[in-house]
């Protein structure tokens, strides 16, 4: 009876207490859920950053190998040897092999000093002709086990990607070889994953990363006498580790200490045991320290998973401190009042960063990074639709003289004005931006050489109207290149446009030159 009376007397307070407790629990649960979501988002962003850094390293090596191919390997004296090697007769092939080895061995030693692992020539039928890393192993067929070699020799195009080989695994850069337009085989330059990951660790001083290869991938492809290059590691069933990678881990005990922890290893084994081949991010607590562990699929030329990268970093302090409910209750109201403002600021900053990453800050048009991305996209679209385009490389004549005579402020003004004229003069479909310094690049989709010349003339006329502090009008030199069926990448088109620009400047400036093979 006393209880009922007390309940009636304090009914409002009890209901208020229940309501307050319910709201408190709801907000506390919301904050905890938000914390978990933020942590997962952070882990995904960290993993994506690692993936992007690996990709950027491979792109750098890709550019370097293209330079090697164009400047050294595609030399007619080298390709002639490969042509002769395609002929009948073992003695002749042996002579060609020895001559090729002697000619390029000093260069191969230089490649090794820069982290490259292999220089390997193949005959048109996929037969190994000369491995500089193992010159006594040759004449073995590769088409059945090396997709990159098969594609390069049958589809006659450059192939880039990870692949297990007869001796080593690594990122392959395989080029078809031609002698006087006759296909005479292919050449491969490759870099080991240990080199790639070593560069990645230089970017992240607190990162430990290694990779595992599926055991079946190794046993099916590697020479029997080379299988000792691979070892089991930490009882990761179905996977092997490259011996060089294992030695690197053993030498760096600080970065890889987490992998000596049984709890961490068990979580990794569980993740590796799942059937889904997708990235996974984990958090493991070891002796009061929290570590993030990322498992990133390693895919081959055909984008099939054949291994996995395993990376670890310590979690930031923000994720290490325990979440106290009382503190959260006190701060919840303020956090929820501020969350909309924070979201707006973050969104605004992200948009601003996106613009800053794409736009040249002086001229207000695309920068080189964005131009490269859009140009490559247009090249791929052109390949699909079979509709060509033109690249126009524009250079302001005597720009250094303008800077030296009237100051950099006047030079900057002219650059801004020309950027504005591009926007006013060019078509909506045209892709344009500042390539660097006083150079600009224009990609004119679905435009042949004749129309590109008209476009260049219109642009010349517009630039000539610019006001200058001198009596002489601003003039530009323009090089034009049209796509061809032989192009395998946008770099080739831009390079021809640059060559045409060089001709325009060399022959007097203030003119438009269309690239021609002569």
Q: How far apart are CA 12 and CA 444, in angstroms?
A: 75
Q: Which of 488, 495, 494 is nearest to 160 (CA)?
A: 488
Q: How many CA atoms lie within 13 A of 56 on its CB side?
A: 10
> Distances from the Cα of 417 to the Cαs of 427, 434, 440, 463, 465, in angstroms?
17, 12, 13, 9, 11
What pLDDT is stored for residue 319 in this prediction?
56
Q: Which DSSP helix (H) or strand (E) runs through 434?
A: strand 431-436
Start-to-end CA distance of the chain, whole Å, equals 110
Q: How far apart are CA 418 and CA 119, in angstroms?
A: 46
Segment 103-141, tens digit of pLDDT: 999 999 998 888 888 899 999 999 999 999 889 989 899
Q: How far apart are CA 17 and CA 21, in angstroms?
A: 6
Instruction: Please check the confidence at residue 325 and state whether its pLDDT lies above 50.
Output: no
Q: How far apart are CA 402 and CA 438, in angstroms?
A: 11
Instruction: Please check the confidence at residue 324 and state whether its pLDDT lies above 60.
Output: no
What pLDDT is stored for residue 203 in this prediction?
77
Site of tokens 């692949």: 163
Q: How far apart are CA 47 and CA 35, in angstroms?
A: 18
pLDDT band at 470 (very low <50, low <70, confident <90, very high): confident
Query: Which domains, ranges and CATH numbers included, belong to the chain?
Result: 74-187 (3.30.450.20), 194-319 (3.30.450), 368-514 (3.30.70.270)
Q: How far apart are CA 116 and CA 500, in angstroms?
A: 34
What pLDDT is stored for residue 1 in this prediction?
46
Provide φ and ψ at 438, rounded to 5°: -100, 20
Helix residue ranges per DSSP H, 69-223: 76-85, 90-113, 147-154, 193-203, 215-221
Three-class secondary structure of residue 359 per DSSP: strand
Segment 71-88, tens digit of pLDDT: 899 999 999 999 988 877
Q: What is the mean pLDDT of residues 159-178?
A: 90
Instruction: Please check the confidence at residue 336 and state whether its pLDDT lies above 60.
Output: no
Segment 194-209, tens digit of pLDDT: 888 888 878 776 788 8
Judged on CB neighbours under 10 Å (0-12, 13-18, 19+), 398 is: middle
Q: How far apart are CA 518 and CA 516, in angstroms?
A: 6
Question: Of 53-57, 221-225, 259-263, where does mean pLDDT reach its minimum?
Answer: 259-263
> Token digits for 92?
């002749």
Instruction: Please check the confidence at residue 158 and state whether its pLDDT lies above 80.
Output: yes
> Token digits for 263?
């709890």
- Give the list of residues 6+ apart from residue 421 with CB closer than 8 angstroms, or none: 459, 462, 463, 466
Instruction: Please check the confidence at residue 321 and state whether its pLDDT lies above 70.
Output: no
Q: Which residues pair with 295 in a beta bridge?
A: 280, 310
Q: What is the mean pLDDT of residues 139-160?
A: 93
Question: Would you give the DSSP letter of residue 252?
Answer: -
Segment 16-62, tens digit of pLDDT: 556 656 666 676 676 667 767 777 788 888 888 888 888 888 898 89
355 or 294, higher pLDDT: 294
What pLDDT is stored for residue 340 in this prediction?
45
Site of tokens 């990870």: 162
Question: Of 355-359, 366-370, 453-457, where does mean pLDDT reach its minimum?
Answer: 355-359
Sheet strands side by side (includes 128-131): 128-131, 116-122, 182-191, 169-179, 159-164
């Amino acid at each position: 009876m006393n209880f009922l009376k007390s309940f009636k007397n304090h009914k409002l307070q009890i209901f208020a207490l229940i309501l307050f407790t319910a709201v408190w629990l709801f907000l506390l649960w919301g904050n905890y859920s938000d914390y978990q979501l933020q942590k997962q988002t952070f882990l995904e962003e960290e993993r994506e950053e690692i993936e992007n850094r690996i990709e950027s390293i491979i792109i750098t090596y890709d550019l370097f190998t293209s330079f090697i191919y164009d400047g050294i390997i595609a030399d007619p004296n080298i390709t002639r040897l490969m042509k002769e090697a395609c002929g009948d007769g073992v003695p002749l092939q042996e002579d060609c092999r020895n001559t090729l080895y002697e000619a390029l061995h000093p260069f191969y030693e230089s490649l090794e000093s820069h982290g490259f692992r292999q220089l390997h020539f193949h005959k048109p039928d996929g037969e190994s002709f000369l491995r500089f890393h193992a010159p006594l192993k040759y004449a073995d067929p590769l088409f059945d086990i090396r997709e990159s070699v098969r594609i390069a020799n049958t589809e006659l195009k450059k192939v880039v990607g990870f692949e297990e080989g007869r001796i080593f695994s690594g990122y392959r850069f395989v080029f078809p070889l031609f002698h006087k337009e006759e296909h005479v085989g292919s050449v491969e330059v490759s870099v080991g994953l240990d080199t790639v990951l070593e560069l990645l660790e230089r970017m992240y001083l607190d990162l430990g990363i290694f990779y595992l290869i599926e055991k079946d991938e190794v046993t099916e492809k590697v020479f029997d006498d080379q299988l000792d290059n691979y070892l089991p590691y930490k009882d990761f069933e179905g996977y092997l580790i490259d011996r060089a990678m294992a030695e690197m881990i053993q030498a760096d005990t600080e970065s890889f200490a987490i992998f000596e922890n049984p709890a961490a290893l068990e979580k990794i084994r569980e993740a590796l045991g799942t059937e889904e081949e997708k990235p996974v991010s984990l958090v493991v607590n070891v002796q009061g320290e929290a570590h993030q562990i990322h498992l990133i699929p390693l895919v081959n030329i055909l984008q099939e998973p054949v291994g996995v990268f395993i990376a670890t970093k310590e979690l930031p302090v923000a994720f290490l401190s325990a979440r106290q409910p009382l503190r959260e209750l006190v701060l919840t109201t303020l956090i929820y009042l501020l969350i909309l403002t924070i979201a707006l600021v973050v969104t605004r900053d992200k948009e601003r960063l996106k613009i800053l990453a794409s736009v040249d800050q002086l001229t207000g048009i695309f920068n080189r990074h964005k131009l490269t991305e859009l140009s490559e996209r247009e090249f791929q679209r052109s390949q699909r639709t079979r509709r060509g385009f033109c690249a126009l490389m524009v250079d302001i004549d005597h720009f250094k003289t303008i800077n030296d005579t009237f100051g950099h402020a006047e030079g900057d003004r002219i650059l801004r004005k020309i950027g504005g004229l591009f926007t006013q003069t060019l078509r909506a479909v045209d892709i344009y931006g500042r390539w660097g310094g006083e150079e600009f690049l224009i990609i004119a989709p679905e435009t042949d050489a004749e129309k590109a010349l008209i476009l260049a003339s219109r642009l010349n006329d517009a630039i000539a109207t610019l006001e200058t502090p001198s009596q002489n009008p601003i003039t530009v030199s323009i090089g034009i290149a049209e796509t061809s069926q032989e192009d395998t990448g946008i770099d080739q088109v831009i390079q021809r446009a640059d060559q045409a620009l060089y001709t325009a400047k060399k022959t007097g400036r203030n003119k438009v030159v269309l690239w021609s093979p002569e």
